C-alpha cells in the first residue's frame, strides 16, 4: 500500500492509500463564490437606492465598513462550524446535530427554502432594472408599450420574474458542473465591466459627467438639463442631501441592517469536503470567505468614492430618493453604471457595458434554488417530507418534485410581488428570515464546546485562540449581537418596512408552515411505525 508522510521535520502523521483523501478546495474558488454571493452589483447598488432615503444623515461608506467588520465575525463563527462539521447541508446539519431535529428543520426550511420563493421576484426585479430597463432605454426600443419603463410595471415585473424562475429552474436541472464554468467567466467579465466603469469615473471630471449626462438624457429620454432637474425634483419632494463623511454614528448604524441585504452572504456556498482536517483548514476556509467579503467591501467603497468624485454625491442621493419614492427621473431605476456608460457617446459601447455588467447577475442567479433542493432532499431522506420529494427523473436527471416544490410557490409569490406594490416593500423579509436561521447557527457555535465537547476538542477551530481564548465561540457571540441588533431594528423600526402586520403574518406563516410540516411528518410516520425522534438520537458508546 502506498503511503504518504505529512509533517515538517518529522512526520506528524502517515496516510495510506485510500479513497476520499482529497485536498481541500482552493481559496480562490471559495473567494469567487463569496464575491458572487455578496454581490456588490446586483444586491449592493440595488439596495443603496432604498437604504439612503429613509436615513438621509447616515453615511453609506461608514455603514459598509462597520458591516464588513461585524460580518467578519460571522465568517469566523461559520468557519468554526465548517471545519468542525464539514458537511453539505450546512445550517441544517449543524442545527439538527447541535440544537435538535425540530428546530433544525424549521430553521432550514424557512431560511433555505421557503424564503427563497421571495428571493425569486426580488432577483427578477433586479434583472429588470439592471438589464432590461437600461438596455431598452439605450436602444430606444418602444415595444412593449412604455418601452424601458414597461419593465417597472406590474406585468413587466411578473414577466421578468418568470424568466428568472425559469432560468434558475433550468440551471438546477442541468446541474452545477456546466454552470460553475459559466460562473468563472461571469466573475471575470463582471470585474472587467466594473474596471471599465472605474476607469470612466476616474478619468473623467464631474463637469464632463454632468455634460455627458445631460446630453444622453436628452438623447434617450428627451429631458433637458436632466442633472439639475433631478436635483431640483428631489428637493421639491422634500429630500435634503447630506455631505459625504463618516458620521453621525447613530443614523449610520441604522444603515447596517440594510447593508445585510448584500453583505450577509459570504458563507453562502461554504461547504468543505475532505476528511483529513488540520489547523491549516481553518485558515483556508476563513481566507476564502473573508477575502470574498472584503473584496466586496473594497469594491463598494471604491464605487462610492468615485460616485462622490465624478457623479456627484448629492445627485446620487437625489436620484435614489426619487426612485425610493416611486418617481424616478426617467421612469426607470437610476442605474449608476448606465450613467457611467453615458460618458462614452456610443450606443454599441453603452449596450456592451450593460451586457457585461449583467454577468454579475447571471453568475449568481443559478444558485437561487440550489440550496432549496439540498434541504428538500435532506428532509425527504429524513422522512420528514414524502420520499417522492427526493426523486430525480431517470432519463433527464431532473429533480422533478423538488423543483415543483420550489417553482410553483415562487411563481405564486412572484404574482403577489408584481401586482402588490405593498408586498414589494417587504424586500427585507427575505434577509430577516435567513438572519434568524443564521442566529440559531450562531447560538449553535457558541454552545458547541459544551454540547459536543469531543467534537470540539478534535476540531481545528478549538485551537484558534487570541490571548488563550478560543475565538470561534466569541465570534459567535459577536455575530449574535449583529443579528440581534438587525432583528431588533427590522422588527421595531418602521423605516425598514418589514414590521407591519401583513409582513409579519407573511413571515410568521412560513414558520407555522415549517412547524406544521414537521409535526405532521412525526404524526404520520409514527402511525406508520417510524419514529423520527431516532434520527439524531446518539447511540451510547459504552
Burial of 307 (0-12, 13-18, 19+ CB in 10 A): buried
> Which residue in the block uniquely carries the three cell numbers 476520499?
20
Q: Which of residues 246-275 bind other proteins (CB under 8 A)?
A: 269, 271-275
Q: Which of 329, 522, 517, 506 is nearest to 425 (CA)?
A: 506
What span, in angstroms and rounded, lies between the C-alpha atoms of 43 and 21?
A: 38
Cβ atoms within 10 Å of 351's Cβ, excluding its own: 15
Q: Which of residues 453-492 bind other proteins (CB under 8 A)?
A: 454-455, 457-460, 462-463
Min. distance of Cβ 41 from other proteins in angstroms? 20
Q: Which of 13, 249, 491, 523 binds other proteins (CB under 8 A)?
A: 13
Quick one: 27 or 354, whose CB is closer to other proteins?
A: 27
What span, in angstroms and rounded, lies between the C-alpha atoms of 133 and 126?
A: 10
Q: Which of residues 33-62 bind other proteins (CB under 8 A)?
A: 33
Min. distance of Cβ 439 from other proteins in angstroms? 23
Grid coordinates representing 169 are 429552474
Site string for other proteins, 207-246 (x = CB under 8 A): ----------------------------------------
In this structure, are residues 267 and 289 in contact, taking their beta carbons and an 8 Å threshold? yes
Query: What is the SS3 assignment for 175?
Result: coil
Q: Which of residues 290-349 bind other proteins (CB under 8 A)?
A: none
Burial of 207 (0-12, 13-18, 19+ CB in 10 A): exposed
Q: Which of 166, 135, 159 is nearest to 148 (CA)?
A: 135
Is 386 a binder of other proteins (CB under 8 A)? Answer: no
Quick one: 202 or 458, whose CB is closer to other proteins?
A: 458
> Which residue in the block uniquely carries the three cell numbers 470612466?
200
| Consecutive H or E run containing 518 | helix 501-527
Is 391 a binder of other proteins (CB under 8 A)? Answer: yes
Q: Which of 177, 187, 430, 162 is nearest to 295 (CA)?
A: 187
Q: Which of residues 275-294 bind other proteins (CB under 8 A)?
A: 275-280, 288
| Beta-bridge mates of residue 108 | none
Q: Which of 15, 188, 249, 523 binds other proteins (CB under 8 A)?
A: 15
Preceding omega of 453 cis (within 30 degrees of 0): no
Q: Which of 313, 298, 122 is nearest to 194 (CA)?
A: 298
Q: Which of 11, 100, 247, 250 binds other proteins (CB under 8 A)?
A: 11
| Beta-bridge mates of residue 16 | 3
Q: Which of residues 96-125 bind other proteins (CB under 8 A)?
A: 96-97
Q: Output the CA–CA distances (angstroms, integers) from residue 491 to 54, 435, 506, in the order listed.
A: 16, 12, 13
Quick one: 93 or 149, whose CB is closer to other proteins?
A: 93
Is 180 a binder of other proteins (CB under 8 A)? Answer: yes
Is 25 a binder of other proteins (CB under 8 A)? Answer: yes
Span of 102-110, 122-130, 388-396, 433-441 interacting with other proteins by CB under 8 A: 388-396
Q: Which of 301, 477, 513, 530 binds other proteins (CB under 8 A)?
A: 530
Quick one: 57 or 536, whose CB is closer to other proteins?
A: 536
Is 397 a binder of other proteins (CB under 8 A)? Answer: yes
> Which residue in the block uniquely carries the three cell numbers 439596495?
47
| Beta-bridge mates of residue 3 | 16
Quick one: 195 or 458, whose CB is closer to other proteins?
A: 458
Is 20 a binder of other proteins (CB under 8 A)? Answer: yes
Quick one: 139 or 390, whose CB is closer to other proteins?
A: 390
In a 13 Å sphere around the CA of 117, the CA atoms on its Cβ side amount to 24
Q: Which of residues 357-376 bind other proteins (CB under 8 A)?
A: 370
Quick one: 25 or 511, whose CB is closer to other proteins?
A: 25
Radius of gyration of the chain (CA): 24
Q: Which residues contact 350 (CB under 8 A, 6 or more apart)?
A: 138, 338, 341, 342, 344
Min. distance of Cβ 11 from other proteins in angstroms? 5
What span, in angstroms and rounded, lies between the C-alpha atoms of 202 and 204?
A: 6
Q: Which of 240, 393, 453, 531 binds other proteins (CB under 8 A)?
A: 531
Quick one: 174 or 199, whose CB is closer to other proteins?
A: 174
Quick one: 305 or 530, whose CB is closer to other proteins?
A: 530
Grid coordinates representing 228 are 439639475
Is 174 a binder of other proteins (CB under 8 A)? Answer: no
Q: Which of 180, 170, 183 is nearest to 399 (CA)?
A: 170
Quick one: 109 or 482, whose CB is closer to other proteins?
A: 109
Is 3 a binder of other proteins (CB under 8 A)? Answer: yes
Span of 28-36, 102-110, 187-195, 344-352 interacting with other proteins by CB under 8 A: 28-36
Q: Which of 62, 67, 183, 231 binds other proteins (CB under 8 A)?
A: 183
Is 91 a binder of other proteins (CB under 8 A)? Answer: no
- DSSP annotation of 2: -
φ, ψ dihedrals at 268, nearest 5°: -60, -45
| Planar angle of CA 195, 199, 204, nearest 5 degrees | 155
Count of residues of this chain found to bind other proteins when the rule CB under 8 A is applied:
82
Quick one: 345 or 451, whose CB is closer to other proteins?
A: 451
Site string for other proteins, 500-529 (x = CB under 8 A): ----------------------------xx
Quick one: 477 or 530, whose CB is closer to other proteins?
A: 530
Quick one: 223 or 391, whose CB is closer to other proteins?
A: 391
Query: What is the SS3 assignment for 217?
Result: helix
Is 12 a binder of other proteins (CB under 8 A)? Answer: yes
Is 176 a binder of other proteins (CB under 8 A)? Answer: yes
Amino acid at each position: 500500500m502506498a503511503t504518504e508522510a505529512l509533517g515538517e521535520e518529522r512526520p506528524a502523521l502517515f496516510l495510506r492509500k485510500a479513497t476520499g483523501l482529497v485536498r481541500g478546495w482552493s481559496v480562490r474558488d471559495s473567494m469567487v463564490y463569496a464575491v458572487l454571493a455578496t454581490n456588490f452589483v446586483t444586491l449592493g447598488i440595488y439596495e443603496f437606492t432604498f437604504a439612503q432615503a429613509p436615513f438621509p444623515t447616515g453615511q453609506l461608506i461608514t455603514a459598509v465598513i462597520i458591516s464588513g467588520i461585524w460580518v467578519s465575525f460571522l465568517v469566523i463563527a461559520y468557519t468554526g462550524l465548517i471545519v468542525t462539521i464539514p458537511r453539505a447541508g450546512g445550517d441544517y446539519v449543524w442545527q439538527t446535530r447541535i440544537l435538535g431535529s425540530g428546530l433544525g428543520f424549521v430553521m432550514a426550511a424557512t431560511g433555505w427554502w421557503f424564503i427563497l420563493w421571495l428571493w425569486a421576484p426580488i432577483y427578477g426585479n433586479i434583472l429588470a432594472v439592471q438589464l432590461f430597463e437600461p438596455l431598452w432605454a439605450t436602444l430606444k426600443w418602444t415595444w412593449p408599450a412604455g418601452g424601458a419603463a414597461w419593465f417597472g410595471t406590474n406585468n413587466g415585473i411578473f414577466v421578468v420574474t418568470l424568466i428568472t424562475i425559469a432560468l434558475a429552474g433550468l440551471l438546477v436541472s442541468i446541474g452545477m458542473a456546466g454552470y460553475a464554468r459559466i460562473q468563472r467567466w461571469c466573475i471575470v467579465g463582471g470585474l472587467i465591466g466594473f474596471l471599465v466603469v472605474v476607469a470612466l469615473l476616474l478619468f473623467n471630471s464631474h463637469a464632463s459627467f454632468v455634460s455627458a449626462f445631460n446630453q444622453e438624457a436628452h438623447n434617450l429620454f428627451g429631458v433637458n438639463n436632466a442633472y439639475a432637474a433631478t436635483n431640483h425634483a428631489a428637493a421639491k419632494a422634500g429630500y435634503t442631501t447630506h455631505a459625504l463623511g463618516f458620521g453621525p454614528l447613530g443614523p449610520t448604524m441604522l444603515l447596517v441592517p440594510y447593508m445585510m441585504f448584500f453583505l450577509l452572504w459570504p458563507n453562502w456556498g461554504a461547504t468543505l469536503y475532505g476528511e483529513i482536517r488540520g489547523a491549516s483548514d481553518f485558515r483556508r476556509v476563513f481566507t476564502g470567505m473573508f477575502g470574498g467579503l472584503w473584496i466586496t467591501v473594497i469594491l463598494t467603497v471604491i464605487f462610492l468614492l468615485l460616485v462622490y468624485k465624478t457623479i456627484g454625491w448629492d445627485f446620487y442621493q437625489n436620484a435614489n430618493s426619487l426612485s425610493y419614492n416611486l418617481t424616478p427621473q426617467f421612469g426607470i431605476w437610476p442605474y449608476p453604471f448606465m450613467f457611467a456608460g453615458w460618458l462614452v457617446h456610443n450606443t454599441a459601447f453603452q449596450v456592451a457595458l450593460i451586457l457585461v455588467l449583467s454577468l454579475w447577475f447571471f453568475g449568481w442567479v443559478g444558485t437561487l434554488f440550489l440550496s432549496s433542493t439540498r434541504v428538500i432532499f435532506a428532509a425527504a431522506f429524513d422522512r420528514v417530507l414524502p420520499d417522492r420529494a427526493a426523486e430525480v427523473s431517470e432519463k433527464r436527471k431532473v429533480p422533478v418534485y423538488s423543483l415543483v416544490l420550489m417553482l410553483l410557490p415562487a411563481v405564486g409569490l412572484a404574482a403577489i410581488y408584481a401586482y402588490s406594490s405593498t408586498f414589494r416593500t417587504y424586500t427585507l423579509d427575505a434577509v430577516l428570515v435567513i438572519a434568524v436561521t443564521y442566529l440559531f447557527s450562531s447560538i449553535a457555535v457558541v454552545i458547541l464546546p459544551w454540547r459536543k465537547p469531543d467534537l470540539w476538542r478534535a476540531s481545528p477551530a478549538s485551537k484558534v485562540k487570541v490571548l488563550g481564548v478560543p475565538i470561534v465561540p466569541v465570534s459567535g457571540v459577536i455575530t449574535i449581537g449583529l443579528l440581534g441588533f438587525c432583528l431588533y431594528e427590522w422588527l421595531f423600526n418602521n423605516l425598514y418596512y418589514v414590521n407591519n402586520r401583513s409582513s409579519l403574518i407573511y413571515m410568521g406563516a412560513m414558520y407555522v408552515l415549517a412547524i406544521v410540516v414537521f409535526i405532521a411528518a412525526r404524526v404520520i410516520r409514527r402511525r406508520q411505525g417510524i419514529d423520527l425522534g431516532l434520527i439524531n438520537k446518539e447511540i451510547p458508546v459504552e
